[in-house]
Chains A and B, each alone.
Chain A
Amino acid sequence: MNNRNRRLNLVLAVAVAAAILLPWYRIERGFYSFSWLGDFPQTDATAPGILQLFLHGRWWLLAVFAALAGAFAARFVTEPMRRGRLLAWAGGIGIFLLALQGLAIGATGWTWTISETLFGQLANGQPSMGAGAVVTAFAFILIFSFGLAEQGVMRGDAFVVSIIALLIFLVAIFVFYPIGSMFVGAFQDFDGSVNFDGFTRSITDPSIWSLDCVIGGQRCGVAWRTFFLAIMTAAGSTALGLAFALVATRTRFPFKKGLRLLTVLPIITPPFVIGLALTLLFGRAGVVTQGLSSLFGVEPSRWLYGLTGIWIAQVLSFTPISFLVLIGVVEGVSPSMEEASQTLRANRWRTFWRVSLPLMKPGIANAFLIGFIESMADFGNPLVLGGSHGVLSTEIFFAVVGSQNDPARAAVLAMILLCFTLSAFLVQRLWLAGKNFATVTGKGDSGQHISLPRPLSVAVHMVVIPWMIFTLVVYGMIIFGGFVKTWGLDNTLTLTHYAKAFSVTIRDGSIAWTGVAWNSFWTTMEIALISAPLTAIVGLATAYVIVRQKFVGRNLFEFALMMSFAIPGTVIGISYIMAFNLPPLEMTGTALILIACFVFRNMPVGVRGGVAAMSQLDKSLDEASITLRANSFRTITKVILPLLRPAITAALVYSFVRAITSISAVIFLVSAEYNMATSYIVGLVENGEYGVAIAYSSMLIVVMVVVILAFQLLVGERRLRRENRVAGLAKPEVPAFSQEKTA
Chain B
Amino acid sequence: MNPSSGSVVFQNVRKTFGAFTAIHDLTLTVDPGTLVTLLGPSGCGKTTTLRMLAGLEHPTAGRIIIGGKDVTMLPANERDVSMVFQSYALFPHMNSLENVAYGLQSSGMNKKEARQKAEHGLELVGLAGLGNRLPAELSGGQQQRVAVARALVLEPQVLLLDEPLSNLDARLRRRVRTEIRDLQQRLQFTAVYVTHDQDEALAVSDKIVVMKDGEIAQEGSPRDLYEAPASSFIADFIGEANVLPCEIIDVSGAQATVSIEGLQHVVPARGARAGRGKLAVRPSAITLEPADDAAFAGRISHAAYLGDHIEYEAETSGGTLFVVDPMVDRPLSPGTRVSIGLKTRGIALILD
Q: Which residues from chain A sit less than 8 Å from chain B, CB to CB?
A: 80, 152, 155-157, 618, 620-621, 623-631, 634, 638-639, 642-643
Contact = CB atoms under 8 A, between A and B. Distances in A.
Contacts of A631: 75, 77, 106
A629 B154 contact: yes
B89 A624 contact: yes
A620 B89 contact: yes
Interface string B114-131: 000000000000000000
B73 A627 contact: no
B282 to A, nearest CB: 37
Contact of A627 (B56, B58, B87, B91): B56
Contacts of A625: 91, 102, 106
Contacts of B86: 620
A156 B93 CA distance: 28
A161 to B, nearest CB: 11
A643 to B, nearest CB: 6
B106 A623 contact: no
Contact of A628 (B82, B87, B92): B82
Q: Most chain-B CB neighbours within 10 Å: which of A80, A156, A628, A629?
A: A628
Interface of B: 54-58, 73-79, 81-83, 85-87, 89-93, 102-103, 106-107, 150-151, 154, 160
B154 A155 contact: no
A621 B91 contact: yes
Contacts of B90: 624
Contact of A630 (B77, B87, B160): B77
A628 B93 contact: no
Mostly helix, strand, loop or mixed at chain A's interface? helix
Contacts of B85: 620, 623-624
Mostly helix, strand, loop or mixed at chain B's interface? loop
Contact of B106 (A618, A630, A643): A630
B138 to A, nearest CB: 16
A157 B57 CA distance: 12
A620 B103 contact: no
B93 A627 contact: no
A157 B106 contact: no
A214 B327 CA distance: 92
Given A156-B73, A156-B74, A643-B93, A629 B107 contact: yes
A155 B89 contact: no
Contacts of B102: 625, 628, 630, 638
A628 B154 contact: yes
A628 B106 contact: yes
Q: Which 4 A-B pairs have the closest CB atoms?
A: A628-B103, A624-B89, A620-B89, A630-B106
B77 A618 contact: no
A152 B58 contact: yes
A333 B103 CA distance: 45
A624 B89 CA distance: 6
Contacts of A621: 89, 91
Contacts of A638: 91, 102
A629 B58 contact: no
Given A156-B74, A156-B75, A629-B107, A618 B87 contact: yes
Given A623-B85, A627-B77, A634 B91 contact: no
A250 to B, nearest CB: 35
13 contacts: A156-B74, A618-B89, A620-B87, A623-B56, A626-B56, A626-B75, A627-B151, A628-B102, A628-B151, A629-B77, A629-B154, A631-B77, A643-B93
Q: Most chain-B CB neighbours within 10 Å: which of A80, A620, A624, A626?
A: A624
A642 B99 CA distance: 14
Given A626-B75, A628-B77, 6 more contacts: A152-B58, A155-B57, A155-B76, A620-B89, A624-B89, A624-B90
B105 to A, nearest CB: 9
B92 to A, nearest CB: 7
A320 to B, nearest CB: 34
Contacts of B87: 618, 620
B110 to A, nearest CB: 15
Contact of B103 (A80, A623, A630, A643): A630
B103 A629 contact: yes
A152 B76 CA distance: 12
Nearest to A150: B73
B55 A643 contact: no
B72 to A, nearest CB: 9
A626 B89 CA distance: 11
A629 B106 contact: yes
A627 B79 CA distance: 8
Nearest to B51: A623
Given A630-B77, A630-B103, A643 B92 contact: yes
B54 A627 contact: yes
A623 B93 contact: no
Nearest to A629: B106
Contacts of A643: 91-93
Contact of B55 (A618, A624, A627): A627
Nearest to A80: B73
A624 B93 contact: no
Contacts of B93: 642-643
A613 to B, nearest CB: 13
Q: Most chain-A CB neighbours within 10 Å: which of B55, B78, B102, B160?
A: B102
Given A155-B55, A620-B87, A638-B102, A626 B92 contact: no
A424 to B, nearest CB: 33
B75 A157 contact: yes
A152 B150 CA distance: 28
Contacts of A80: 73
Contacts of B106: 625, 628-631, 634
B92 A627 contact: no
B77 A626 contact: yes
A624 B90 CA distance: 8
